[in-house]
């Protein structure tokens, strides 16, 4: 017997509608009502509110079938979001729409040896640029999303990749953008949101593990947007494979990150990380790989697969998405990741029936990931102020 739907608050109902529109790009009313478990009459009342608040719009489109609906509901393109994305080279800042269109972008370079103070200064400069641009155009931001590599859930002050004091930076937002909701997150969560909400060909709609291999190695559990932990970061880059391995930035030796991160890849290719980043996605074809290097790459990717497989043992799910430089490789190289997953005890694709997909890296287009995260946060809030406690 099917369990009845649990009663939802007004915020949760609005959030269900907005997150569905965010992920689908738009929907006619009948399939939208079905997707969010509402009657068409109840949906109409809520859409009327959302339209009056400027969060959605409805435009005439040819009916999907004879006698079908002609009003396509989508998020309003006039809603403005702020985005700040911290990378190893700069802080990207921008303003964009709920659909992902960027209206303004700027990059403030990081110093070669960043400190907590110097990174704070970079944030202040970027926020001043954002404040000036929005003030001159009389634009009020509905939400700001900020991404920081390696940001943990328990310690917002410390950061093992780029030193910064998130608490202090948060106060800067309060000074320049009073009343605007601001959300900080780990970069992997933002990239997961980007792929989930912006990629029409994204391979999974069910709960799955998203793995991002970049300056570090991290993951995110991706679940139904209505769940509280819909995008939850998970640390898997610091599983140790042997104390005689290369030294990791965390202080240990032999972490999977020390073998497979971008800095580790650059070292294997006998170049600097900056040179590798400059080549972008073309490094795969621009750099000839010897048989020895290819063999070493496969061994490292196998370790990455083992780390992913062990993570699945903690929280089993049926899908894994791998993004980052491994997704640029040929299938025969990428197979080493899958072999590593299959080699895990108690796991593997045969026992757990796990599907593995590779999606292109989303790095280099900042602050698109931070913008996608800001859109996700606004949708999850139902477009309502966080202080609101209105019931259904």
Percent of the chain exceeding pLDDT 90 equals 50
Please, which pLDDT band fits residue 226 given cuts at 50, 70 and 90?
A: low
Cβ-count burial of 250 within 10 angstroms (0-12 exposed, 13-18 middle, 19+ buried)?
middle
Is residue 68 classed as helix, strand or coil in its secondary structure? coil
144 neighbors 373 (Cβ within 8 angstroms): no
Percentage helix, strand, coil, to 5, in the chain? 40, 20, 40
Percent of the chain with pLDDT over 70: 90
For residue range 269-311, list pLDDT tens digits in order: 999 888 888 888 888 888 988 899 999 999 999 999 999 998 9
CA distance 237 to 240: 9
**Residue 387, pLDDT above cutoff 50:** no
- At 72, which helix (H) or strand (E)? strand 71-75
Q: Over 80: is that where the pLDDT of 195 sits?
A: yes
Question: At a CB cut-off of 8 Å and minimum separation 6, what does 129 contact?
Answer: 93, 106, 108
Question: Contact 389/206 with Cβ under 8 angstroms?
Answer: no
CA dist., res. 214 & res. 265, Å (int): 10
d(CA 265, CA 263) in angstroms, rounded, equals 5
> How many residues are listed for the chain in this entry?
392
Which pLDDT band holds residue 76 (cuts at 50, 70, 90)? very high
Is the pLDDT at 2 greater than 70, yes or no? no
Residue 224 has pLDDT above 80, yes or no: no
Is the pLDDT score of 1 beyond 70? Answer: no
* Residue 333 and residue 300 in contact, taking contact as beta carbons nearer than 8 Å: no
pLDDT of residue 348: 60
223 token code pair: 């679940």
CA 46 to chain centre: 28
CA distance 95 to 258: 35
Can you read off the two tokens belonging to residue 380? 């999850």
Q: Is residue 95 a contact partner of residue 88, using CB atoms and an 8 Å limit?
A: no
pLDDT at 126 over 70: yes
Contact (CB, 8 A) for 358 and 242? no
Question: What's the rounded Cα separation, in Å, for the pair 371 and 169?
Answer: 18
Say if CB 59 and CB 133 are below 8 A apart: no
Give CA separation, 392 vs 7, 9, 42, 140, 157, in Å: 8, 4, 12, 28, 37
Three-state DSSP class for 57? strand
The model's pLDDT over 11-42, given as tens digits with 9 standing for 90+, comes to: 889 999 998 899 888 899 999 999 999 999 99
- Compute how many other C-beta atoms are within 10 angstroms of the C-beta atom of residue 317: 18
Question: Is pTM, for the whole model, over 0.85?
Answer: yes
């Amino acid at each position: 017997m099917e369990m009845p739907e649990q009663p939802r608050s007004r915020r949760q109902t609005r959030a269900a509608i907005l997150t569905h529109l965010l992920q689908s790009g738009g929907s006619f009313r009948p399939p939208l009502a079905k997707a969010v478990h509402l009657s068409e009459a109840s949906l109409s009342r809520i859409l009327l509110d959302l339209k009056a608040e400027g969060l959605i719009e409805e435009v005439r489109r040819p009916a999907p079938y004879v006698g079908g609906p002609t009003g396509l509901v989508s998020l309003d393109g006039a809603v403005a979001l702020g985005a700040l994305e911290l990378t190893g080279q700069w802080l990207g800042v921008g303003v964009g729409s709920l659909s992902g269109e960027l209206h303004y972008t700027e990059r403030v370079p990081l110093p070669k040896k960043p400190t907590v103070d110097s990174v704070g200064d970079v944030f202040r400069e970027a926020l001043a640029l954002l404040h000036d641009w929005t003030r001159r155009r009389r634009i009020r931001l509905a939400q700001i999303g900020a991404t920081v590599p390696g940001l943990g859930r328990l310690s917002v002050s410390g950061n093992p990749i780029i030193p910064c004091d998130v608490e202090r930076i948060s106060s800067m937002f309060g000074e320049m953008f009073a009343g605007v909701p601001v959300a900080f997150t780990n970069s992997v969560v933002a990239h997961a949101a980007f792929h989930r909400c912006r990629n029409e060909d994204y391979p999974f709609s069910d709960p799955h593990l998203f793995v991002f291999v970049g300056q570090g190695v991290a993951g995110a559990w991706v679940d139904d947007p209505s769940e509280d932990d819909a995008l939850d970061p998970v640390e898997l880059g610091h599983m140790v494979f042997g104390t005689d391995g290369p030294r990791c930035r965390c202080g240990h030796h032999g972490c999977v990150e020390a073998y497979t991160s971008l800095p580790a890849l650059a070292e294997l290719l006998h170049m600097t990380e900056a040179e590798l980043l400059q080549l972008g996605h073309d490094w795969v074809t621009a750099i000839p790989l010897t048989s020895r290097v290819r063999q070493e790459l496969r061994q490292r990717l196998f370790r990455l697969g083992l780390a992913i497989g062990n993570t699945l043992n903690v929280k089993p799910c049926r899908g894994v998405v791998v993004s980052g430089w491994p997704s640029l490789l040929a299938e025969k190289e990428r197979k080493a990741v899958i072999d590593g997953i299959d080699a895990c005890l108690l796991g593997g694709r045969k026992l757990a029936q796990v599907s593995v997909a590779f999606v292109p890296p989303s790095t280099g287009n900042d602050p698109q990931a931070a913008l996608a995260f800001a859109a996700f946060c606004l949708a999850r809030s139902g477009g309502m102020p966080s202080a609101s406690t209105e019931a259904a």
